[in-house]
Amino acid sequence: MSEKDERSARENIGKRDPLCGTSRHRYAVPKADLVGKPDRVLLSIKNRTILDVGCGYGRNCVPLATQNQMVACDVSKSMTDRVRDVGIPFVQCDLRYLPFRTRSFDYLLNSVVLVHLPRKDVVVAIAELKRVGKRCLLIMPNPVGTGSFFGLLHVAAASLVALRRGTLFPLFDVPTFRGYIVNYYFPWRFRALLMRMFRNVVARASTGGVLHPLWTDRILYDCG
């Protein structure tokens, strides 16, 4: 899938899909102000400059903007109506080519976005996030956590797409029915990747509580 196709898929989600392309427990109808809960561990951040890359409908950046200087960006304009309506400065761009100066934000927030990039682009994208933020907060879904029924949900979804399209079961760049792709990263392998790019990487449960390799649904990687 080309970058143009990815952008087009996201724009169509924002225009036609009332759930804004979210999944399961993060269902959202932004126009009715029915949105997912923010990642709880982020709410302790105050009086900082934050760039939310891949902000979507603003699940995190809208609540964070009440106590921080917030800027949001996303490849899709149609998905970000709620963010722009509340007055958060917005820039439409691709996270692989961020139009910001080096280390121009205290925090760089990227929540459940890297999984939708082609696998070949992930290292380049992380390097770009590292360039812009003094500290990177990367949130990734746990593909073997409870939210995916320990991986069974992902296997079933990928199998259905493969059957519908008459292709083999894909291992990378898995297509979805909504038109974008997804890649799954085991927590220990993703942390090992980050350790090669950052001096310090601390993993925590993004919703608070104790981090567990199976029970935790989303993981926050605090990179500095």
Which has the minimum average pLDDT: 4-8, 70-74, 196-200, 208-212?
Answer: 4-8
Residues 117-124, mean pLDDT to the nearest whole number: 94
Interatomic CA distance for residues 154 and 184, integer angstroms: 9
Query: How confident is the model at residue 79, as a pLDDT?
Result: 83
Asked whether the whole model's pTM tops 0.85, one would answer no
Structural domains in the chain plus CATH codes = 3-223 (3.40.50.150)
Q: What is the mean pLDDT of the chain?
A: 84
Segment 182-201, tens digit of pLDDT: 888 999 999 999 999 999 99
CB atoms within 10 A of CB 202: 12
Residue % of the chain over a pLDDT of 70: 71
On the question of pLDDT at 17 being above 90, the answer is no
DSSP characters for 95-108? TTS--S-TT-BSEE
Average pLDDT over residues 49-70: 96
How far apart are alpha carbons 189 and 179 in whole angstroms?
26
Of 46-50, 116-120, 180-184, which gets the smallest average pLDDT?
Answer: 180-184
